[in-house]
């Protein structure tokens, strides 16, 4: 198989793929909102290893009450099509 012929995430370019996503309008908005809520909850940069998880329908909210803190694996798994 020719290197680079598959999807970006399948070629091992995880960092490059995440950088590209963070530059998109949707990725930038989600990241900015998550960082703002992290600061409001006073967990930004404290090394607790938790992600901000927005409640359904509140993805663009910057209010701390509209989000909870979750382990990254739980937070990211919630967006998969199948529940594991």
pLDDT in tens, 65-77: 778 888 888 877 7
The sign of the dihedral angle between the CA atoms of 70, 73, 74, 79 is positive
pTM reported for the whole predicted model: 0.57
Of residues 58, 55, 61, the one with CA closest to residue 78: 55
Three-class SS state of 75: helix
Average pLDDT, stretch 11-27? 80
With pLDDT > 70 as the criterion, what percentage of the chain qualifies?
Answer: 73
CA distances from 47 to 2, 15, 50 (A): 40, 20, 8
């Amino acid at each position: 198989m020719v290197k680079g012929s598959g999807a970006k995430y399948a070629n091992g370019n995880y960092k490059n793929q995440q950088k590209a996503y963070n530059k998109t309008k949707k990725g930038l908005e989600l990241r900015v909102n998550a960082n703002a809520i992290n600061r409001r909850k006073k967990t930004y940069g404290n090394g607790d290893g938790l992600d901000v998880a927005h409640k359904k329908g509140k993805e663009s909210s910057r209010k701390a009450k509209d989000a909870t803190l979750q382990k990254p694996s739980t937070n990211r798994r919630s967006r998969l099509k199948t529940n594991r």
